[in-house]
Structures are given as structure tokens and as C-alpha cells.
Amino acid sequence: MSAPATGRRVRRARRPRGAWLGWLFALPAVVMYATFVLRPLLLTVQYSLYDWNGIGASTWVGLDNYRRLFTDSELFASILHAFELILFFSLIPVLLGLFVAATIRGIAQSRLATVARTVLFLPQVIPLVAAGIMWSWLLSTTGLANELLSAVGLDSVTRAWLGDFDTALAAVGIIGAWVLVGLCTLLLLAGMSKIDPALYEAARLDGAGPVREFFSITLPSLRQEIGVCVTVTVIAALASFDIVYIATQGGPGNSTMVPGLEIYYLAFSEREVGMASALAVALVFLVLAVVLPLQRLTRDAR
Amino acid sequence: MIVNRRETWLGRVLLVLLMVVTVVPFLSLFVTALHPAGTYPSGLSWPESPQWGNFADAFRAADMGTLLLSSGLIVLGVVPISLLLGTMAGFAFGHLRVPGHRIGFVIFLLGLTLPFEGIITPLYYQIRDMGLLNTRWAIILPLIGLFMPFSVVWMRAHFVTMPDDLSEAARIDGAGTWQLFWRVHVPLAMPALSSLAILLFLWTWNQFLLAIVLVDDPAKRTMAGALGAFQGQWGTDIPLLCAGALLILVPTLAVFLIFQRRFVAALLQGSIKG
């Protein structure tokens, strides 16, 4: 084999003829993504500038729909509710997950922990709809929650948790927390297994207690995992739909109305397609506005 | 490792407590499903005479056989195509590094955070205009598109770790790009592919929003969508509803328990990459 021929072949291997042809591999994915995601996304933006009932002619209204988003108390409340749900969907699972993971670190390899890994995952595997049905029953007037409260002498606080204006949103939040706490715990535990045990040994020898240990070793080492937990759970909170649809349908009144459900009602029962689209655009931006800074935080830590 | 005994015990107690909280709703569902139809049983009480027949009734009332078939067909439509398209694009962006691959990748990356509600309204009209409303395609095609960001990001993450030498060797042996992909890289990508397959199966099976918006007939929906309809129809008969919900849980739980190890790994990795 002559030298020039080899040279040509090597060059061909590095930069195959017509590198652009490689796009043929990406093309089918791009087509599906563009047709069923990007196109509807752009249309959402377009619809949001019109007043349209989905059937007749549409009228250009400019940014009116967006203005209504901030002035209509019902619509704005749905966005606030989504943020309130973050407390339950993100804060509780992450804090509880951190606490549990830190406490069971010592027994992470035991048989109990292996069983726990399976059990804690169950809520992640089932449809959210099923979680909603289970919990609607648990939180109902004759459900287990009230029975337990009566058993400890708290009859006075028993109520239909999902039907009460004061507690419905929190009750929905608890369902979300139940779904997400296992995932967070296991993610954080997996992160902890990557921390060098020597760090803990050193801390113990220096006389650090479990609390010091947690704040000076565990917490800083888990920045990335915490970032992931927060990102996943915040998206779940802001874009919640299934659980609310099944458990309360936004009620009582509008006390558990969230943007996802409001979009569904506006578009498909009230036939206010423009308004639904404006809320949808707002929701997409809201998620990006919360999630993108979080990504930066966790990337820097690496 | 120096861990004192008190902490170990506290850890065990906590873990058991968390497991109990996780499992109790399932138990409550199960126990309630065994009560006589139409009653309002309280809490976790075991019925005097367990009504095992409730499961059969729910199976018939929900037309479970049709539902299983329908969900199965939808999964069969979504998962293999998503895997193939996602792998090909991941290969182009992660391994071939086609010109402009960075921009292409970022466009998919941004799609990862997109809530489905964000596009559901125009999607309805688009599907209607395509004449696909109330068919399984109305769920299959959009889901493939919606799963593309995750599939591409996931498979790209695999392909960037594959050494270039491997492809050079194959090319010197005369392999074209397609052969390189199909004969060399796809077999090597099997672990990443199977984890992705599990996740996509789960997300398709449990998909609710698309099912209730785009398909009116519960018999053509996903399991989760059908459960929504079942609740609307039998919502007042608590034991029957619980039995139906349990039946709908069984397939995912079964798949989960069979592929447990891979499942947990896939979901943990999945949320990290997502």
C-alpha cells in the first residue's frame, strides 16, 4: 500500500465526504420534533395574539390576552397556585429527601435499603392519575387521614381535605410530595454514595457531629444532585395537571386552579383559544425562567 | 466507616417510616377495593367478606381487555420509532458531529423543559386538520415528537463517550456511515437503548393529557387516559373505582418489578440527564 493512499484514507475517515450528509441521520428526528412540537409552539404564540373561539373568524387583539393574564384575578391566581405548589412538590421532597438520605447514609448498603429502593420508587412508576384517585380517597371525609386524626383525638380538624377552600391546595400539594419524595431521596442517596468516605472519617476524627458533617461535607458535595431534584420537581409543580384534574378539577371554587388545568378549560370548554394560548406561552416562559438559572448553578459546581 | 449505633437505628426507623407512608395508599386502595360495591368503607378496615369479584366487575366495566390492547398498540407505535429516531439523531450530533451539531443539539435541549400544556391547544387543531382526531395516531405521532428532545439528549450523551478510533477502524475496513451506525454503534448502545426504552414505555403508558384531549373514545386511549374516563363514569362507586385503579396499576407495577434494577438506574440517570 502506498503512502499517499493511506493518507487519503485517514483523511476520509476524519472528515467523511459530505459531512453534511450526516444530517440525514438527524433528519427524521428533526422532522417529528418540528412537526409536533416546534410548529405547535409557534402557533401557540400566534394564537395568543388573537381572540378566537376555535370555530369562527379570529380577531387580532395584540397583547390584550397577556394584559388580561395580569389583571384577571382568576388567571393570575392560577399562576400563584403553581408557585405555592412548588413548596410542596419541591421544598418538602428535597428537604425531607436530604434529611432521610443523610440519616440512612450509614446503612445505604444494607438489605433494608435495597428493599427501600424498590418501595420508594413505586409512586414514580404508577400513573399520576392513579395517585390522584388513591389520595382522593385517603383524604376524603371517611378516608384514612381523618380516621387517623380521630384516633389521636383530633376530631375537630377532620374535614374533606380536598373539598375545603382552606386546605384543598395544600392537600393537592401533599399528593405531589408523596409522588416525588422517593425520587428525591434516591437521587440524593446515589449522589452521597459518590462522596469519599474518607471525608467523613476525617470529620469524625476532628470531632464533628452529624450536623456539622451534614453542612460541611454532605450539602456542598450534593450541589449537582440537589439541582437536579429541584429542576425536576419545579417543572412537575409548575406544569401540574393530572393530579389536580383527578383530585379537585381546580375546585372548590378556583382554589386549586393551576395554569395547566386553566389552559385545558379555556381551550376546550370555554373556547377561548387565544387566552389559553397566552397562558400557555406564559407557562413555557415561567418554566424556562425558573429552570435555566438552576442549570447554571449546578453546572458551575462541577 | 465510623457510624454510631444510635444513628444507624434512627436511620432504620426513618426509612421504615418513609416506606410505610409510601405503601399505605396502595394498601388502602387494595382494602377498599374488596368492600361491597356502592358502600363507603372507612379507612383501612378489612371487609367482613372480601368481594374478590369486584376485580372481575371492574375488569368488565372498564373493558380492560380492550384497554390493554389499545395501550399496547400505542406503546408499540411510540417506543420503537422514538428509539430509532433518537438514536440516529444522537449519533449524528454526538458522534458524527455534523456541521452545526451544537445548534441542533441546543434546540432539542430546550425542548426538554417544555410542559405539554404549552402546545396542547394548537396540537388539537393540527391533529384535527390531519384527520387523526380520535385515532391512536393522535397520541402516537405527537408523543414521538415530544419524546424526541429527551431521546436525542439521552442517546447523544452515550455517543459522545464512544471513541473515534472505533469508527475510523470500521471505515478503513470499508464501512459506510449507515453500516458504521447499524453494525457497530447500535449494538454497542444497547444498555443506553434499553434504559431509554423502559422510560419511554412508562411515560407513554402513563400519558394522560394527550389522551383526554385528542381521543374521546376511552378504548383508543392510553391506560392512564382510560382511567380518567373510568373515574368519571364510576366515581361514585368507591370500591369499584379502587378495583379499577388497581387493575390499571398492575401492568406498570409488573414491568417495574421484573426490570426493577434497570428501571431504578434508568429513572435516576434519566432525571439527572433530563
Q: What is the DSSP letter of B220?
A: G
Question: Which residues have C-beta within 8 Å of that of residue A242, sequence separation ≥ 6?
Answer: A127, A128, A129, A132, B208, B209, B224
Nearest 5°: CA angle at A234, between A233 and A237? 90
In terms of DSSP H, where are the helices of chain A? 3-14, 23-33, 39-47, 64-71, 73-86, 92-104, 111-125, 128-138, 144-151, 168-192, 197-205, 210-213, 219-221, 223-238, 242-247, 259-268, 273-301
Minimal Cα distance from A121: which residue of B?
Answer: B264
Which residues are paired to A50 by β-bridges?
A60
The shortest CB-CB distance from A138 to any of B12, B28, B228 is to: B28
B264 contacts in chain A (CB < 8 Å): 117-118, 121, 186
| Residue A217 pLDDT | 87
Domain B64-224+252-273 -> CATH class: mainly alpha
- Using a CB–CB cutoff of 8 Å, tell me whether B9 touches chain A: no
Identify the band that residue B249 occupies on the pLDDT scale cut at 50, 70 and 90: confident
The single-letter code of the amino acid at B33 is: A
A200 contacts in chain B (CB < 8 Å): 1-2
Identify the band that residue B245 occupies on the pLDDT scale cut at 50, 70 and 90: confident
| Residue B13 pLDDT | 87
Q: Which three cell numbers stand for residue A205?
A: 476524627
- Running along chain A, 302 residues long, what does each successive block of 10 average in pLDDT? 41 57 91 95 94 87 90 91 94 91 77 83 88 88 84 83 90 94 87 85 85 86 88 92 91 90 93 93 94 77 44
| Residue A5 pLDDT | 42
The shortest CB-CB distance from B89 to any of A19, A29, A260 is to: A29
| Residue A292 pLDDT | 87
Mean pLDDT of chain B: 86
| Residue A18 pLDDT | 66
| In the predicted structure, residue B32 carries a pLDDT above the cut 90 | no
The shortest CB-CB distance from A113 to any of B15, B121, B228 is to: B15
ipTM: 0.88
| Residue A160 pLDDT | 85
Q: Which three cell numbers stand for residue B23?
A: 405503601
CB contact under 8 Å between B145 and A33, yes or no, is yes
CA distance B202 to chain A (A): 7
- Using a CB–CB cutoff of 8 Å, tell me whether B132 touches chain A: no
CB contact under 8 Å between A182 and B118, yes or no, is no
Q: What is the pLDDT of residues B61-108, one digit of tens each?
A: 878 888 889 999 999 999 999 999 999 999 999 988 888 888 999 999
The beta-strand segments (E) located in chain B are none
A156-170, A223-237, B202-216, B219-233: lowest mean pLDDT where?
A: B219-233
The shortest CB-CB distance from A25 to any of B10, B181, B212 is to: B181
**Mutation choice for B interface testing from A122, A139, A262 by most B CBs within 10 A:** A122
For A166, counting Cβ atoms within 10 Å of its Cβ (0-12 exposed, 13-18 middle, 19+ buried), the class is exposed
Which residues are paired to A60 by β-bridges?
A50
Q: What is the pLDDT of residues B182-192, one digit of tens each?
A: 988 999 998 88
| In the predicted structure, residue B49 carries a pLDDT above the cut 70 | yes
| In the predicted structure, residue B43 carries a pLDDT above the cut 70 | no
Minimal Cα distance from B182: which residue of A?
Answer: A25
CB contact under 8 Å between A47 and B121, yes or no, is yes
Q: Output the pTM of the full model.
A: 0.87
Which residues are paired to B59 by β-bridges?
none
- Using a CB–CB cutoff of 8 Å, tell me whether B211 touches chain A: no
| Residue B273 pLDDT | 56
- What domains does chain A contain, in order, with CATH numbers? 72-301 (1.10.3720.10)
Residue B255, SS3 per DSSP: helix
| Residue A302 pLDDT | 41
- Using a CB–CB cutoff of 8 Å, tell me whether B144 touches chain A: yes
| Residue B3 pLDDT | 53
- Using a CB–CB cutoff of 8 Å, tell me whether B2 touches chain A: yes
**Using an 8 Å Cβ cutoff, are A99 and A92 in contact?**
no
Report CA-CA distances (Å) from A56 to A53, A272, A273, B214.
6, 12, 11, 21
Residue A40, SS3 per DSSP: helix
